[in-house]
Structure 1
Amino acid sequence: MLRPCRKSDAGLIAMYAADDRVARGTRAMPHPLPPGTVEAMIERASQPDRTEDVWVIDGSAHGHAEALGLISLERMDRAQSEVFYWIAPAFWNTGFATEAVRTLISANPHHADRIFAEVFQDNPGSARVLTNCGFDYLGDAEAFSVARGATVPTWTYTLKTDQ
């Protein structure tokens, strides 16, 4: 289940996000995670003028924790959006990320004609999530990873929605 972030999610999200393996899989997450980072993200996610919508991947319906990770959709120009997601390592290879991406695509809250995604090339599991959800490989690129302090090779994907 995807749901908006709540202040009560901060502790669990911070615990997962403090894991170097999670941070290194993202562009923007620092490692180590500074105090207050998650609380600030939750606050930004609730602002009416936000450009990125963030949802908690809630596993409680399956007997798991209320927060397994996060998924977000950032508005781009020309009816396009970019999806970002991460799952706590304890839930890797369980299908939760694929289910979350499929749910978000199905809802298409931005009414995007096209959704983009990129993953670091050393994270083939995230690439499988995208291809399992119907994304097509677009090409190679690079992105800066805050946690790594370096530019990292990426694979870029795109999905034409049924708008």
Structure 2
Amino acid sequence: MTEISERRVISVIVVNESSVLSRITDLFSARGYNITSLTVAPIPESKYSRLTIVTSGSVRVIEQITKQLHKLIPIFRVYEHADLVEKEMALIKFPVTENITEISTLCDAYNGKIVNVGENVIIVMVADEPKRVENFLKIIKRYNPKEIVKSGAVALER
């Protein structure tokens, strides 16, 4: 019987010091676990940083990952999100010859907006749930994007 692999979001609060990220990614690679998305940022007014890791695995695999993460010394807290608010951001560059009005209307529907208009390009930003960002990226292909950059996920428990 095969276990079902599901997308999971794990937050790790670490002491903000050198080599912590390396130790965490080494833990994943040594066990053959894939990281789909990894976002790291310092927690304001503290000595800690928050890592938001998106991975996939069975309940057993995720339990194993969190147990192994707890064993790493600079880690302060590890938790898998149950009830969360999750967002992702994308910047997309379009030729200025594309229909700005239509692009702007689509952006509005996906918590986005035009953030820069240059001589030859329009740059838009959307920030929404990961599935909605993916949907937006599929829809805007008809406007010939020149470049797309996505952030990793960020998440907070409710």
| Fold agreement, TM-score > 0.5 | no
Q: Give the structure with higher Rg (CA).
A: 2
| Structure with the larger strand share | 2
TM-score using structure 1 length: 0.31
Q: Which has the higher contact order (CA 8 A, sep 6+)?
A: 2
TM-score using structure 2 length: 0.32
